[in-house]
Structure formats: structure tokens, C-alpha cells
Structure 1
């Protein structure tokens, strides 16, 4: 236990004073002892990676403990009642909610999409942490999908693209959405994915330098207006480029908007002021 727990709190020291988190690591590691993933790695790596994803979002200690325990009642002899007794009814309820979402079975793909979305939103109404843990669980599973069969890869990728990416978008967790979409594309359209990824990697340095330059130019414009603003830039992700290539029938080389810049201000008035200044500096296409 000490190894994974110590690694976790060294990366996320804000949880080091939580006895609840420490005990969740101990219980999870003991419960999953002797279990392995398809990759051959100890199973404990999965809940550990899930809670790293949750901690990166800044979730509370209850979420971290529930995330560490989310597979325990399903895959071990440690029951939901034991979670409630040794931790709290609140944590047990979250873990039970995640388990129920995992056990949803469908007859058709159409039913899967509609029913899964409905049940997830019902769960959200009760405790949104259930949904966020489920999203983190799916994200780590997608990151390690190489060890599944080709049929299972495509099934999980389609489900992720149809259900989990839109759900992450509705919750405003865009970094989940972007990664879900890219990982799904990797298995649904592997040739397109690797072609775009290769071209993006070959121009990454130039694009990052260009983003820094654009942010600097926009900062100069914003400062000239005397407006307080937060400016961020990022390269477009692979799936969004793929969609644009398909809908506009263009090649990668024919696309000009491979980066995105976001300016966040405090009021609608400031937003329009900056928009006008930016359009004066750069003519809209």
C-alpha cells in the first residue's frame, strides 16, 4: 500500500492529511491482491490511475476514496455494506452508483445510447460524483484498450464516442471529451488517426511557437484596451481535425485552423470589446 499511496500524495499533497484516502488505498490494494489486468499488470493500477485523474480535477477526499474503492464490491469479497461500515454511507452510495452504471446491459446499440444516457443523468441528479468517477474509469480503460480484442476495442470506442464524450462535454470537462474522441478515433479509424497524429507531431514545435506568438499578440491588444483577461491557446485535437477534413472534404494541408485560442473576460461588454479589437487586427475569414 505504501508504494501507491506515497506516490499519490507526493503528486497530490493536498490529500496527505486525509485518513480516509489513506485507508481507501489500503483496503483497495488488499482487496485486489492477486488480481491482474489484461495487460498482466496488477489490478490495483487501474483504481490508482482513476484517482489520479480525479485528483487532477481537484475533487474532494470522498471522491478520491470512492474512486479508489469503485471496483472493490464488484470484483472482490469486500461488499457495499462493508464500505459503508468502514468508511461512510456517503462513500458506499457513490461506489454503489458507479457499480450500477457498470452493470447496465442493452439489447441493441440504439437502446444502449438512449438508456445509458438516461440512467447516467438520473444518477447525476443524485450525486454528480458518480458520473465523474465513471468518466475517469472509462478514460483509463480507453487509455489501456490495446490489450482487448479488436472487436471489443471497436465496441468500447463506439460507446465512448456516442455516450461518454457527449456526457463529458455536457459536464464541461472538455479535456475528457477531447481525449475520449481521440482515443475512440484511434480504434474506429486507425489509419486516419495515425496519419493525422503523425502530421501533427511533425509540426508540433512550429505550432507551439505559433500559439505563443499569437497569445503574445492578443495580450498586446487586450492590454491596450485596459481589459483584464485570461488567454489560453492549444492545438486542435485529432478528432476535431478529422471531422473537419471529412465535412469540408479537405486534406490536412488545406486546413488553416489547427490551433484554438480562448480569451476569458469578466463581462459581455469586455468580450465584445476584445472581439472587435481582434477583428481589427486579424480579418475574419
Structure 2
């Protein structure tokens, strides 16, 4: 099932590139899925890692995900999919609220995604400087609010024994990028 999800995501994201580079977009979902797999999460969570941006950024619909991968994977992807008809602020506040109140597997998926995005941003800032902020819908202060809010809410409701190590990595990256 994991290879099928990877193949599906590769097809869906074909021709897309990352925001601040010419890197193929698929490199991001692959890294997210690999992080989830290394943390020992279920095949469904790993598949959701591959597929987490498909509905948001490609012509595929949630029904396509459910038909191909089942309701559990679709539920995880749906919990992490932003409604692009809403403003940046509304979308990000929804994600913060989801991180605070969702089941653990949704939190694991969201934080793995946000960590990979932030590590990519950190590399882009090192290479390109503050010019990278022009490629975002929100400036550095809004991005700082968003990432800090994720880090402040991601532990809510998770027992210490169930916290993956990359949560601390995300907190460290937030501190490095935003001070």
C-alpha cells in the first residue's frame, strides 16, 4: 500500500516544483512519509504522508484517495487538507486548532509536514536570504506566529511516551528560523 501511495503522489504532483527552488515537489511528501515510517507509525499514516498535499494541490479529490486507499487514509489526509477558499489566516488558524485537538496520528502527520517545510525554508534562507519571503502568502511575522503556534499546541493531549522525536526537532527549527 505504501508503494501505491508513493506512486499515486508522484503521478499527482508530476511537473510541480517546491516554492523556492526547482526541486520536484514530490521530494517533500516523500520526506514526510519517510519521517513517519522511521517513527514507526502505521502504513495508513505513512500513506497519508505521501498523499497529504494531493487534494490541496492537484486535480485529485478526496474521493479518489478514499477509493484507492480506504477511509482511514482519506480521513487522515482530509484532516490535514486546507480549504483554499479561506484566507491564509483562517486556514492556518484551522491547522493550529487541528494540531491542538486532533487525534495523535493527525498531529503526527501535520508536524512531520511542517517540520519538513521549515527545514526547507531554513535551507532556502541560508541560500537566498530574506528574498524567499516574497514567495509566501504571509510575511515573516505571520509565519513566525503560525509555526510558533503549532509548536505550542502539538503536545496537547499526547502522553509523553507517544511523542515522536521529531517534535523536538520541529521546536528547535522554529527557534533557529524565527528566534
Taking structure 1 as the reference length, the TM-score comes to 0.50
Q: Kindly provide the CA deviation profile for residues 61-104 of structure 1, in whole angstroms up to 9, marking residues without a partner as x.
A: 01111110110111111111011111112211111111048877
Q: Residue 123 in 1 paired to residue 102 in 2?
A: yes
The verdict on how the C-alpha distance between 1:104 and 1:24 changes in structure 2, with shifts beyond 3 A counting, is farther
Aligned match of 1:106 in 89, 92, 110? 89
The verdict on how the C-alpha distance between 1:28 and 1:63 changes in structure 2, with shifts beyond 3 A counting, is same
Q: Which residue of 1 aligns with 2:147?
A: 160
Q: Kindly provide the CA deviation profile for residues 37-74 of structure 1, in whole angstroms up to 9, marking residues without a partner as x.
A: 02210000000010111112100101111110110111
Bigger proportion of residues as strand: 1
Larger CA Rg, structure 1 vs 2: 1
The verdict on how the C-alpha distance between 1:118 and 1:74 changes in structure 2, with shifts beyond 3 A counting, is closer
In the alignment, structure 2 segments of 5+ residues that lack a partner are 125-131
Q: Kindly provide the CA deviation profile for residues 6-59 of structure 1, in whole angstroms up to 9, marking residues without a partner as x.
A: xxxxxxxxxxxxxx1110011100110000002210000000010111112100
Q: Kindly provide the CA deviation profile for residues 133-178 of structure 1, in whole angstroms up to 9, marking residues without a partner as x.
A: 01100000010114331774443233222x2222333334363343
Q: Does structure 2 conserve the Cα–Cα contact (< 8 Å) formed by 1:69 and 1:95?
A: yes
Q: Kindly provide the CA deviation profile for residues 109-137 of structure 1, in whole angstroms up to 9, marking residues without a partner as x.
A: 9xx4xx6544434432xxx3222101100
Q: Which residue of 2 aligns with 1:149?
A: 133
In the alignment, structure 1 segments of 5+ residues that lack a partner are 1-19, 190-285
Trace 1:136-215 onto structure 2 (pairs within 5 A).
Answer: 136-146=112-122, 147=124, 148-149=132-133, 152-161=139-148, 163-170=149-156, 171=158, 172=160, 173=163, 175-189=165-179
Trace 1:38-49 onto structure 2 (pairs within 5 A).
Answer: 38-49=20-31
Supply the distance in 1 between the matched residues of 2:140 and 2:38 (Cα, whole angstroms). 26
Quote the RMSD (CA, aligned, Å). 2.6
Q: Residue 86 in 1 paired to residue 73 in 2?
A: no
Q: Does structure 2 conserve the Cα–Cα contact (< 8 Å) formed by 1:165 and 1:176?
A: no
The verdict on how the C-alpha distance between 1:188 and 1:120 changes in structure 2, with shifts beyond 3 A counting, is closer
Q: Does structure 2 conserve the Cα–Cα contact (< 8 Å) formed by 1:35 and 1:43?
A: yes
The verdict on how the C-alpha distance between 1:181 and 1:122 changes in structure 2, with shifts beyond 3 A counting, is closer
Q: How many residues align?
A: 161
Q: Does structure 1 conserve the Cα–Cα contact (< 8 Å) formed by 2:62 and 2:78?
A: yes
